[in-house]
Amino acid sequence: MSKILYIVDNGKKNSYKYNIKEDTIIYHFSIDSSSDVEIELSVPDVQLYYYYNNINYKDNYFNIRVLHSASNTHSEVFNHGVNILDNKLTYKVDGVVPKSSSKCICNQENQIINMKNGKSTICPNLLIDNYDVISNHAAYIGKFKDEYLFYMMSRGISLDVSYRLLLNGFLINSDSIDISKIDEFVKEIEKI
């Protein structure tokens, strides 16, 4: 059984440090906030699943650094942001595996949806100093695909409801999330 943490930030700059010693899932939801996050996987055979989902109205950034300081560790980092206005949203995501750590898995997926003409940046960095590692990253910045909206609207769903459904699927991207713990975030999606 994994340890599960929920974090909901609203409108301020935050800093978090975690030393992961057991399998952990972190659901981090942010409303117009900036965050610095440092995570160390410090014991062998530990797994981390980190989900960062944010709604952005002003210029904000998200920095995360995941350090695999023990061998046989596994991290999966998923960052999903929605940039509402013509503002800046920056993700800097570092996966670090030093030479002393082997047989690690270090993956990250980063996506930012610009609702208008926001200026978004994703810097996915894999700093790997060991050949016995599996590591991948992905980055996407853009809008929701026109085909998705067209399909939903061709089924009688209005444009506003189509966007709301897409936003819910994009930002609350797991069936295992306890919605009652992120009520403030869910209400913010309804305002968009």
pLDDT tens profile 92-125: 999 999 999 999 999 999 999 999 999 999 999 9
> Residue 187 burial by CB count (10 A; 0-12/13-18/19+): exposed, middle or buried?
exposed
Q: What is the DSSP letter of 108?
A: E
Q: Within a 10 A sphere around the Cβ of 85, how many other Cβ atoms?
A: 13
Instruction: State what percent of residues in the chain have pLDDT above 90.
Output: 95
pLDDT tens, 25-60?
999 999 999 999 999 999 999 999 999 999 999 999
Q: Is residue 1's pLDDT more than 70?
A: no
Q: What global pTM score does this model have?
A: 0.94
Task: Kindly provide the residue ranges of all beta strands, DSSP E only, lying in the chain, ordered along the sequence.
Answer: 3-10, 13-20, 24-31, 34-41, 47-56, 60-68, 74-83, 88-97, 104-114, 119-128, 133-142
Mean pLDDT of 136-150: 95
Question: Could you tell me the CA-to-CA distances from 58 to 3, 16, 79, 119, 176 in Å, in that order?
Answer: 32, 21, 18, 11, 30
> Over the stretch 73-89, which tens digit does the pLDDT of each residue have?
999 999 999 999 999 99
Nearest to 19 by CA among 5, 35, 9: 5
Q: Over 70: is that where the pLDDT of 146 sits?
A: yes
